[in-house]
Structure 1
Amino acid sequence: MAPLAMSRLMTKLTSLKSEKRLLDRRAADQIRSHILEGVLPAGERLLETQLSEELEVSRGTVRSALAQLANEGLVQQVAFTRWEVSGTSTVDAWEIYTLRGALEGLGARLAAANVSEIDGMRLRAIADDLLHAIREGRFQDATGIDFDLHAAIIELARHERLAEQHRFIVQQVRFHMVQSGFLPNDYEELIAEHKALIEAVIAGDADRAEKLARNHNDAEVKLLAKLLKQGGSAKPTREKAS
């Protein structure tokens, strides 16, 4: 084959591979979104043919997407014959939250050493958004802002591997929250905990920031474990902040 023809062939193959990766990623994003939003509950069977039709992609693309989500712990293959949304358990919750507590504790400690005046203003602005969402009864929005706040603190740690692991574990946290119907017991306490954490980071108090981040996760996992034991049937009180 002539060099020019070979070059064109290689370019075409590279383009096709890139297109396939894009389709795989989009399919995984859509399925992941359905799982994290609770549209697909724990234990739900995932049919390749049905997903292929709904997402308008090939079964091969669906299979690749499901394999990616299996690596993320959101789906599982049963007896190598079928796929289903992963289940939840108190053991899983404990493992996930102990990891989250360790990651966010370290993140808060490092952030306290790196925080600037502008960074502090940003953290306080996110906390204000959280407060407004709670006062207005936008509890789902408040949950998202809560995660944004912790992600912002992790970002200030300036530790990319830490941030990567945190993104992965937070996805697991969100999954368990959705499947259990998790909501904070007391939004006043939630606001106070986050305010204390932010001020410790801004003050550069690494020891206190780490302790508060870990304690926050310890409290959440106890409530989550209780809900999972009850099959996610108990709904915490939605108290508005005054």
Structure 2
Amino acid sequence: MSETDAYEALHGEIVAGELSPGERLVEEELAERLGESRGAVRAALLKLDHDGLVVRERNRGARVRRVTLEEAIEVLEARAALESLAAGYAALRRTDDELTELQSLIADMAKLHTAGELLAMSERNAALHRRILEISRHSVALDVCSRLHSQIVRFQFRTVLAPGRSPRSLSEHQAIVDAIATSDRRTAERAMHKHLNNVTQALISVASNRAAS
């Protein structure tokens, strides 16, 4: 396993919640578990620190970074600005094959919604957002949003479970792809911005309900 493999393994475990917020990350233990050198693990942790997923403290090692609700909201606000820009560029730059791919992702989301597979639907949602960023060919938006998304993916899995949220989410994503299909830059930008604003409100609602229970 290389440094890259160590990074991808730890990144996946953090995003999936297998490594919990606040959990200590001991280089020696991780190296033994992953079958890698401590140097490779140390380099992976440095990169995860840069991504905002890990916090390294002097003389105390590393731990999985805790993301507060306030930080998650700020991340969503930043993503709304950047992903709206990307959706507009995607409307202008997409190929027919890329449009077909986006429409296929929407179809998958609809099937999963009907089947009640909401977490799987959320995963396809993330794939759709990623492909729109890639299709935009806007390298800065893609780079920044990829790091931002990793920081709050655990929060977003909660929003799709909010009562009534999943059909609205499906409708919002359909509107984004429809605007991209017609090469309507401004409508695509507005649709994406509206969608991520609604995700923010759903996250606040879920958090408020948890605090009240």
Instruction: With the length of structure 1 as denominator, give the TM-score of the two structures.
Output: 0.78
Query: CA RMSD of the aligned region, Å?
Result: 2.2
CA deviation after TM superposition for structure 1 residue 182, in Å = 4.0
Q: Which residue of 2 aligns with 1:6?
A: none
> Is residue 207 of structure 1 aligned with residue 211 of structure 2?
no
Unaligned runs of 5+ in 1: 1-21, 235-242
Instruction: With the length of structure 2 as denominator, give the TM-score of the two structures.
Output: 0.88
Question: What aligned pairs does 1:77-96 form with structure 2 within 5 A after superposition?
Answer: 77-96=56-75
Q: Secondary structure at the match of 1:40?
A: coil
> Is residue 59 of structure 1 aligned with residue 38 of structure 2?
yes
Distance (whole Å) between structure 1 residues aligned to residue 96 and residue 28 of structure 2: 53
Distance (whole Å) between structure 2 residues aligned to residue 230 and residue 79 of structure 1: 37
CA deviation after TM superposition for structure 1 residue 69, in Å = 0.7
Equivalent pairs counted in the alignment come to 211
- Counterpart of 2:84 (choices 105, 125, 133) is 105
Distance 1:79-1:172 versus aligned 2 partners, 3 A rule = same
- Counterpart of 1:221 (choices 182, 185, 200) is 200
* Percent sequence identity over aligned pairs: 25
For 1:57, the aligned partner's letter is: E
Distance (whole Å) between structure 2 residues aligned to residue 222 and residue 139 of structure 1: 18
CA deviation after TM superposition for structure 1 residue 199, in Å = 0.8
Distance (whole Å) between structure 2 residues aligned to residue 233 and residue 84 of structure 1: 29
- Counterpart of 2:108 (choices 111, 124, 129) is 129
> Is residue 144 of structure 1 aligned with residue 123 of structure 2?
yes
Distance (whole Å) between structure 2 residues aligned to residue 202 and residue 232 of structure 1: 41
> Which has the higher mean CA deviation after the structures are superposed, 225-234 or 107-116?
225-234
The answer (yes or no) to whether the contact 2:87–2:189 under 8 Å persists in 1 is: yes
CA deviation after TM superposition for structure 1 residue 176, in Å = 3.7
Distance (whole Å) between structure 2 residues aligned to residue 74 and residue 50 of structure 1: 19
Q: Which residue of 1 aligns with 2:12?
A: 33
> Is residue 183 of structure 1 aligned with residue 124 of structure 2?
no
CA deviation after TM superposition for structure 1 residue 231, in Å = 6.4
Q: Which residue of 2 aligns with 1:172?
A: 151
The answer (yes or no) to whether the contact 2:99–2:181 under 8 Å persists in 1 is: yes
Distance 1:130-1:38 versus aligned 2 partners, 3 A rule = same
Distance (whole Å) between structure 2 residues aligned to residue 223 and residue 108 of structure 1: 21
Question: What aligned pairs does 1:41-52 form with structure 2 within 5 A after superposition?
Answer: 41-52=20-31
CA deviation after TM superposition for structure 1 residue 78, in Å = 2.8
Q: Deviations over 1:175-225 (max 9, x none)?
A: 4436xx443432111111111111111112211111110111111122224
For 2:44, the aligned partner's letter is: A
Distance (whole Å) between structure 1 residues aligned to residue 97 and residue 117 of structure 2: 27
> Is residue 75 of structure 1 aligned with residue 51 of structure 2?
no
Unaligned runs of 5+ in 2: none
